[in-house]
Amino acid sequence: MKVILKNDDGSENVYESAHLIDRALKNQTLLIPSKTKEENALEILRAYLSGAKPILYDQENLSLKEKIESLGTEIFKEIDFAAMFFTSGSTGFPTGAFKSRENIETDMEALLLEFGNFKIQTVVATVPFIHIYGFLAALLLPLKLDVDLLFKEHFLPHDLLEYAKPHHLVVTTPLYIKSLLRLDEVKDLSETIFISSTGPLPTEIAKEFTDKFNTTLIQLFGSTECGSIAFKKQDDTFWSPFHGVETSLNTEGLLHVKSPFISKTLWQEGLVQTAGEIQSFDYAILENGKFQLIGRSSNIVKIAGKRYATAQIEEILEAQEGISKALVHVKHNNAELKDEMVVIFLETTQPITQKAVKSTLKHRIGKINLPIELHIVDKISTTLMGKKCMPLV
């Protein structure tokens, strides 16, 4: 496999994956923070191919950076893992997921069952490599297919359209899918495949994209802890679990996942064992072995008898004068009579009161009959994947 960085001046930096193997790294625990895509691609591939134990983290998340770098590698030295990843921290402090070699290789086998039959010659990646999606779909998939990996440090939408060529697989996100739709240029991409993940893509956007470019769009659903869970094609509304993944619903209608890709050990304040099963916070509907996602319990709030996504509330608040950024989630406490609370973080340019927030929401969607916990913060940071991080208060 060749790793190819396209520079803005048209030149290329080319590396052979076979030349990255360093036997001296075997079993060494390494800290690999987010850097340039070029540095991360080479460091992560070198570590994985050499049998090292890389701990990958986004150093833009300052609280995670401080925690990991203060701990160092010794605390993880006795744990058997092939790579460690962290959740985005959008609903609390990031959780670390230890991935065994078996987790990763069985996950790759499932991905190859779905993508191995396409005539892929090159993988084009817009995503960072330190997260599980970029690691699996952008780094390991071309390695397993023995095809070239091509990327730029910063892709503009017209750059991506230029590199979307026949027999190319584009590993990207909903942000780029939406950005490509805004381009005036139309191009026949019938021999190009797009993978999108990290966030929901509305059905109407998926249809508009595939219709405009006459292309194949495959969305992936997964998580740091679970790895790959399911996929759907074009503008489908139901997800098909990957081979080896078992899905069910608990009594509340939340998706339960069991698979060989799930991290058996998680790191929070201590080590947590999963037994290869994860109870998600995603409401879902099961039908004929597939499932449809309705929303996430920590991202769903019931207002005036209707369920609303917290993203809708964030959009409403961010449209108000004086609010630069909003992050909303639902906190559960079963010990309380009212066991749900709406927690709102606001990054503002002027004073905003809880009364004003309630008034705005009541006017737009109805009265919230739940306690509101409002926090005005200096900054709501985002990860490299564009997800908002929960501020520390």
Cα separation, 234 vs 218, in Å, equals 6
Does the domain at 2-295 match CATH 3.40.30.10? Answer given as no
Mean pLDDT over 324-352 rounds to 77
What proportion of the chain, given as a percentage, has pLDDT over 90? 65
In the structure, what pLDDT confidence band is assigned to residue 138 with cuts at 50, 70 and 90?
very high
**Is 310 or 240 the better-scoring residue by pLDDT?**
240
Three-state SS at 311 = helix
The boundaries of every CATH 3.30.300.30 domain in the chain are 304-377
Cα separation, 26 vs 116, in Å, equals 29
pLDDT at 300 over 70: no
In the structure, what pLDDT confidence band is assigned to residue 305 with cuts at 50, 70 and 90?
low
pLDDT at 303 over 70: no
| Tokens standing for residue 139 | 């780094």
Beta bridge partners of 232: 219
pLDDT value, residue 86 = 92
Three-state SS at 107 = helix
pLDDT value, residue 337 = 40
Q: Which of 28-37, 65-74, 184-193, 258-267 has the lowest mean pLDDT?
A: 65-74
In the structure, what pLDDT confidence band is assigned to residue 62 with cuts at 50, 70 and 90?
confident
pLDDT value, residue 182 = 92
pLDDT at 50 over 60: yes
User: What CATH number matches the domain at 304-377, 3.40.50.720, 3.40.50.300, 3.40.350.10, 3.30.300.30?
Assistant: 3.30.300.30
pLDDT value, residue 299 = 67
The boundaries of every CATH 3.40.50.12780 domain in the chain are 2-295
Question: What is the average pLDDT score of the chain?
Answer: 89
Cα separation, 42 vs 46, in Å, equals 6
pLDDT value, residue 92 = 59
In the structure, what pLDDT confidence band is assigned to residue 283 with cuts at 50, 70 and 90?
confident
pLDDT value, residue 243 = 95
DSSP H helices in the chain: 37-49, 62-71, 101-115, 132-133, 141-145, 157-163, 174-181, 203-213, 310-318, 354-364
C-beta of residue 87 within 8 angstroms of C-beta of residue 95 = yes
pLDDT at 338 over 50: no
H-run or E-run covering 231: strand 227-233
Cα separation, 328 vs 294, in Å, equals 18
